[in-house]
Amino acid sequence: MSDVLARCRTADEVRAAVHGWIRRSVPAPWRTAAESGGRSAVRRIRTPDEYRLWYPEFARSGLVVAQWPAEYGGLGWTMELAQAAEAELRPYHLPRLNPLGLNLTAAALFAHGSHEQRLRFLPPLVSNEEVWCQLFSEPGAGSDLASLATAAVREGDTWRITGQKVWTTWAHLADFGVLLARTDPDVPKREGITYFLIDMRQPGVDVRPLRHIGGEVDFNEVFLDGAAVPDVQRVGEVNSGWKVARSTLSGERQMVSGAGSGGVDRIGGTGAGRLIRLAQEREEQGLLYGWDDADTRHTLVRLWCEEQIRSWTNSRVRAGIAAGFSPGPESSIGKVHGSELNQRLQETAARMLGLGATAWPGDPGGYAEDMPAEVRAMLRSRANTIEGGTTEVNKNILAERVLGLPKEPDPWEGKPWREVPRG
């Protein structure tokens, strides 16, 4: 079937081929649920484990990353063809797994990796056979990431990594991670960093989960004690890792910018379209905060309009990447706007529950398990203005690179990293 998809040259051919693939490959109960009740109906009858088991079928089709070259797991389609396919797939709720790999690892490999690295890592990343995380932030290097202290020392064809990372999303599930480490402490901070691909399932890597306010484990501390990375898993030149990292960081900002950014539907919650449908359902049931309430209706329409604007901005970034340009300041625009917008969306969703957002039935010990999805999403969205670069950092990027404003004075500019004070 992937051969049929790969031969498509027009949007009409794509729609017909994808429709045929859905009929042949998506399990009938999922199709029936999607066509009768939409995404929520699919979620009710399909477990996450069932979806993960089936997911390689999706990956083999090439539709997961339709714009990528076929040798890396895609179909080599233009954006127009990929969008036509997405319109056919959307009703069936087939989210992309491994979003950190798809958005962060892949961005670095396409921009700076070798052909051999792409062949080795991209296909199993697409199929979710190898799950990825990002080992960037440290206890003393969050917003000022370039001050990181994790060290990499070369021993022949192997690098030994020692240090600590924190707030590492899904490290407890990951097989590999993208890693920044300091390889030269005697040059300015951004000039002595190298970018690596590290095996997370090896001695010397200790992952310790951090439970967050919603009760789940997403984040982790990672302690590295002489962990090994072969030099063939170094991306870019030695001491040029900051340049590589910018591709990953831009991909991360796009990922957490919400709908239209690709890779994931949204980190933490649902969108304005779903809230509009929820308001309509509440009106039909005679509940408060329904579509018949003018304030609710106006709030949701404003949020919907903002989502469209963000989606257009993200489309500009994707079009630039497809044309061969590196992601630019536009990704920070999407990050700043998208993260704040998502927080407003999730707060609105929780508010629509009324008192149901403050107390809910269930086992007193099952705080997280019984929590309404809208409340969980609202709590999770508090991280949106921090992850992927804080709003403050991204506003500085916009001020300097878009508006051309002068940089803030830095008395340590150009000094060797070893001489710069650190907390």
Give the separation between CA 264 and CA 255, rounded to whole angstroms.
Answer: 7
Extended beta strands in 132-213, E state: 132-135, 151-155, 158-165, 176-182, 193-199, 205-211
> What does the alpha-carbon distance between residue 267 and residue 381 come to, in Å, rounded to a whole number?
7
Q: Cα separation of 2 and 66, whole Å? A: 11
Q: Are strands 234-235 and 205-211 parallel, antiparallel or unpaired?
A: unpaired
Catalytic, 387? Answer no
CB neighbours of 42 closer than 8 A, spacing ≥ 6?
30, 33, 34, 92, 93
Residue 208 pairs in a beta bridge with 221
For helices 330-351 and 241-255, angle between their N-to-C axes, nearest 10 degrees: 30
**Listed residue (78, 84, 117) closest to 18, CA to CA:** 84
Q: Cβ(228)–Cβ(196) under 8 Å? A: no
353: which DSSP letter? T
* C-beta neighbour count of 358 within 10 angstroms: 9
Tokens representing 282? 């509440």
Q: How far is the C-alpha of 17 from the C-alpha of 20, rounded, in Å?
A: 5
Q: Which of 130, 138, 252, 307 is catalytic?
A: 252
How many CA within 13 A on the CB side of residue 175? 10
- Which residues are designated catalytic? 252
